Structure 1
Amino acid sequence: MKTQKLTLLFALVATFASAQDYAFKVLANKGSNEVKSGNDWVPLKTGASLRNGDELKLGDNAYVGLMHSKGKPMELKTAGNYSVKKLEDEMNAKPSTGVLAKYTDFILSSNSAESKKNRLSATGAVDRGENYAIKLLLPANQYAGLFNNQAIITWESSKTSGPYLVTVKNMFDDELVKFETPENNFKIDMSEPKYAKENAVLVEVRSKADPKQVSESHLIKRLAPAEQAGVKKSLESILKETPEQTALNKYLLAGFYEENKLLIDAVTAYKEAIQLAPDVPTYQEALDEFLLRNNIKK
């Protein structure tokens, strides 16, 4: 009986280990890509696990963003066949701290079908700014902290179109900058001299043609020095793993910022990922889902 119990225990351990044994997770996917596991080729799906014996086939104009099991990102953009074993050997040859691995699970779980289902069934969500013609895609004031100096500010409007007038004021309601733009976004850089003395600013957007069509005034504030130092320390190891300016790296940074409630920085990272890979739908879809689950839009 004891021998039977030990045999069963070893079998369960082996099964669990096998379930955890993967070489890569698919974080982003575009095009007619396939994976061969065993004898059959099947369509590649975001979130899939790839193992050593598998083979990838990328179609023309395709893109695949992978995360190695030890926490190293990889982008594939060239059509052709790829041995997962060879890709893993390439990754194993590069040093890695593994710090990014947990953000793989965070990103995939945040964008899973189950997560979307739970969000849709949730109650009590607040549609901030619903009475405003222009909707700034910025979080509530308690999440208005900004780690980086630069942030991409975007907005939506179903009632008006550009050009828009953007106004940035300090907390005493003094106008720091005002400009016109035909776009529905602009980049604010808190390192510029006009913001040097400001720990926080208020952003407002209105229609040039109809000034009554206006957004809610939104807060953007610098992190306190202690908070800034804490985030910087956590981020250093991640930046060592993601030095290249790639869409996949920006996507991973967005996951880090979201987990640390730096939602403005997360939006900026998502927008930068989209700019780097505008034809990869994964990144736009991930941004849309991020905005919904954080009640930035509804």
Structure 2
Amino acid sequence: MKIKLLSFLFVLISIPFAYAQEAKFMVLGAKGEITSNGKNIHAGDMILSGTTIDIKGSTPYLGLAYIAGGTLELKKPGTYNVADLEKGLSNQDNDLVSKYVDFIKDELTGSTANASTQAKYGSVTRSLKKKPIFFYVPINSNAIKSNVNLTWAMKEGVEKKDKTFKLFIKDRKQHVLIEKEVTGTTYALDLNDPELKDQKYLFYYVEDADNHKIASDVYAFEVHKDGGDAQTDKALEQLKANDTAIGHLILAKFYEDKGFIVNASTSYEQAIELSNGDEQYIKMYEDFQARYGS
């Protein structure tokens, strides 16, 4: 009888403790000195109810996914109560956002293979990286009309210091539409630029401004005015409204899922910039590049 009574008392004592340890948030990205109840926080960790989050540093970043749906970012030093954070997210559940947040969670936990997404507009063609310069997208891909980044890199063994490049964008008949001298390894391209003359197919490459033999392959993408159907366009409009690091990370997953790889690459870069260079977001971008052979 005494044993049963002790067991019953133990259960009663355990109930509030278990409740206090309920998972409330999953960490998507963390940069800086960030702790929860004295323990360092890393991407993939769970934040429990009844705890606090302490953030220190000059440019910290913490990206969280709420267990019941919704996302949250913290970028200012301070102490945050998990219960208060939860209250602000109680009405933010969204099936569309949750779907792509789940993709991110799966990637963090390794619960799904990082296989190439089946592109809506057909398979992409990988670059073989035979040339000294390569872009961070497949050699053939798709893009929705918007602002995109064309980002490239030099192969190992190629001199990289203080280089200036020439970027060429042409139409199908090889007429030069844009020729720009670029310092650095990124060019921001507005696909609504009148100079592009509403061309459906664009071909582009980059070369060393001082040595045209140091050049990339000719890359190409098909330009789409929209997402292809009303449902995709509506979803895209909704996701674009979240101009945060997590918002752009979700957008990158959406673009990749729909086969718009150039836009996905750009969204990854924007997520990294807005998160102050979060290491996990950088790794996700690198994994994305590996999936497409760039």
Partner of 2:121: none
Task: Give deviations 1:70-89, integer Å, cap 9, x for gaps.
Answer: 43221112223222111101
Is contact 1:150-1:189 (8 Å) kept? yes
Q: Is the 8 A contact 2:253 2:264 kept in 1?
A: yes
Aligned residue number for residue 98 of structure 2: 101
Aligned-pair Cα RMSD in Å: 2.5
2:159 and 2:229 map into 1 onto residues whose CA distance is: 38
Contact 2:227 2:233 in 1 (8 A): no
For normalisation by structure 2, the TM-score amounts to 0.79
> Which sections of structure 1, spanning at least 5 residues, go unmatched?
1-17, 120-125
Answer 1 or 2: which has greater strand percent.
2
C-alpha displacement of 1:150: 1.5
Secondary structure, counterpart of 2:221 in structure 1:
strand
Partner of 1:15: none
Q: Which residue of 2 aligns with 1:166?
A: 167
The 8 Å contact of residues 166 and 206 in structure 2, kept in 1 or not, is answered as: yes
Structure 1 stretch displaced more, 155-164 or 180-189: 155-164
Residue 45 of structure 2 aligns to which amino acid in structure 1?
Answer: A
CA gap of 1:266–1:127, structure 2 versus 1, over 3 A, is: closer
Match of residue 267 from structure 2: 269
Question: Does structure 1 retain, via aligned residues, the 8 Å contact 2:177–2:195?
Answer: yes
Q: After superposition, what is the alpha-carbon deviation per residue over 1:82-136, rounded to whole angstroms, capped at 9, x for unaligned?
A: 22111101112x44434211212211322445668x77xxxxxx97232101111
1:219 to partner: Cα distance: 0.7
Structure 2 counterpart of 1:136: 135
Confirm or deny that 1:28 pairs with 2:29.
yes
Residues 230 and 214 of structure 1: CA distance in aligned 2, closer, same or farther (over 3 Å): farther
Report deviation, 1:228: 5.5
Shift of 1:24: 1.6
2-structure distance, mates of 1:185, 1:194: 19
Matched with 2:41 is: 44
Shift of 1:211: 0.7
Greater Cα offset, 64-73 or 209-218: 64-73
Between the aligned residues of both structures, percent identity stands at 22
Preserved contact between residue 249 and residue 268 of structure 2 (Cα < 8 Å): yes
> When the two structures are aligned, how many residues end up with a matched partner?
260
1:246-265 C-alpha deviation (Å, 9 max, x unpaired) = 22221221121122222111
The code of the aligned residue for 1:139 comes to P
| Residue from 71, 89, 92 that aligns with 1:91 | 89
C-alpha spacing 1:175/1:239, structure 2 compared with 1 (3 Å): closer
Q: Which has the higher helix share?
A: 1
Partner SS for 2:248: helix
Q: In 2, distance between residues paired with 1:78 and 1:278? A: 12
Counterpart-to-counterpart distance in 1, 2:143 and 2:218: 16
Match of 1:77 in 2: 75
CA displacement at 1:201 relative to structure 2: 0.5
Q: Which runs of 5 or more residues in structure 2 are unaligned?
A: 1-18, 116-124
Do structure 1's residue 227 and structure 2's residue 224 form an aligned pair? no
